[in-house]
Amino acid sequence: MSSPRTRKRFIVLAVLFGCVWINYMNRTNISIAGTTMRDDLGIDPLKMGLIFSAFSWTYGWLQIPAGALVDVFRTRRFYAVIMFFWSAMTALTGFANSLVSLIGLRLGLGLFQAPSYPAHNKMVTRWFPTNERASAIAVYTSAQFLVLAFMPIIFVWMMNAVTWRGLFIITGIVSIKYDYIVITCTCFSVVAELLNQNDDIIAAVSIYETEMRAFICWIKVGNGDGVRAI
């Protein structure tokens, strides 16, 4: 079934683009900081490989149950919650001092990011008609590749300026601040839905008014028998 066109769907798409950008920014920053982290904490390459892969352990295995949760809960509010927690995992990584804490935080990041893409697809299905969904998905998924293209340069600059710990802390704080936009977008979405419903109501009233005018005109020009029949 095709979703109705709404006035705020492009705002929703812009927010989704930002969500994917934040999503990949949080999961890829460790690829830049990894070498410095390893030297600073004295972690050997094998254990560093465990830290790198920990994200995928929870992210991969929880895709299906995470999608089921997205079907159960209100999507945008649920998304705001998981974004807050995955941003917290990133920020706390800046305070980690051991292999166990780093693995735990990466597991947590994968856990809370697992529902993100099912949620993206559900929001696109909700807000975009069938003939616009592929284009909408293409727009927001492009963010992940733009992150890979441009953010490493920024990550290196940040790491040189504030160390790898500062890189994670700042990334987490920026993500938490963006989470507020997601919550605000929920308000936009509610307003948009009301506007869309009001458009339907106004259209129905307009049709009714037109029909009544035509009916009254028929009465006025009709003969007496027609009026008595009414």
Q: How confident is the model at residue 216 (pLDDT cuts 50, 70, 90)?
A: very low
Q: How far apart are the first and last CA of the chain?
A: 41
Residues 125 and 216 both lie in one domain: no
Please indicate, yes or no, whether the overall pTM of this predicted structure exceeds 0.85. no
Kindly give, in sequence order, each residue whose CB lies less than 8 Å from that of residue 12, ignoring residues fewer than 6 positions away.
123, 127, 185, 188, 189, 192
Residues 164 and 223 both lie in one domain: no
For residue 228, what pLDDT is reported? Answer: 43
Residues 115 and 171 both lie in one domain: yes
Convert the pLDDT of each residue in 117-144 to its tens digit.
999 999 898 889 888 999 999 999 999 9
Residues 212 and 166 both lie in one domain: no
Q: How confident is the model at residue 3 (pLDDT cuts 50, 70, 90)?
A: low
For residue 170, what pLDDT is reported? Answer: 96
For residue 126, what pLDDT is reported? Answer: 87
Q: Could you give the number of structural domains in the chain?
A: 2
* Residue 181 is assigned to a structural domain of this protein: yes
Amino acid 132 reads E
* Residue 212 is assigned to a structural domain of this protein: yes
* Residue 79 is assigned to a structural domain of this protein: yes
Residues 89 and 148 both lie in one domain: yes
Average pLDDT, the chain: 82
Answer whether 4's CB lies under 8 Å from 129's CB.
yes
- d(Cα 93, Cα 87) in Å, to the nearest integer? 10
Kindly give, in sequence order, each residue whose CB lies less than 8 Å from that of residue 76, ignoring residues fewer than 6 positions away.
123, 182, 183, 185, 186, 189
Convert the pLDDT of each residue in 45-62 to its tens digit.
999 999 999 999 999 999
- d(Cα 213, Cα 220) in Å, to the nearest integer? 11
Of 90-104, 127-141, 190-204, the poorest mean pLDDT is in: 190-204
Residues 117 and 213 both lie in one domain: no
* Residue 3 is assigned to a structural domain of this protein: no
Residues 32 and 146 both lie in one domain: yes
Q: How confident is the model at residue 10 (pLDDT cuts 50, 70, 90)?
A: confident
Residues 140 and 30 both lie in one domain: yes
- Tokens encoding 51: 């830290």
pLDDT above 70: residue 163: yes
In the chain, what percentage of residues exceed pLDDT 70? 77
For residue 214, what pLDDT is reported? Answer: 55
Count the neighbouring beta carbons within 10 Å of the beta carbon of residue 17: 19
Residues 153 and 221 both lie in one domain: no
Residues 164 and 133 both lie in one domain: yes
Give me the torsion for CA of 186, 187, 188, 191, rounded to 10°: 120
Residues 144 and 211 both lie in one domain: no
Q: What are the DSSP calls for 120-187, one per residue?
A: HHHHHHHHS-HHHHHHHHHHHHHHHHHHHHHHHHHHHHHHHHHHHHHHHHHHHHHHHHHHHHHHHHHH
Of 42-46, 118-122, 169-173, 186-190, the poorest mean pLDDT is in: 186-190
Q: Which domain holds residue 70?
A: 9-193
Q: Higher confidence at residue 6 or residue 135? A: 135
Residues 189 and 207 both lie in one domain: no
Which CATH number is 62's domain given? Answer: 1.20.1250.20
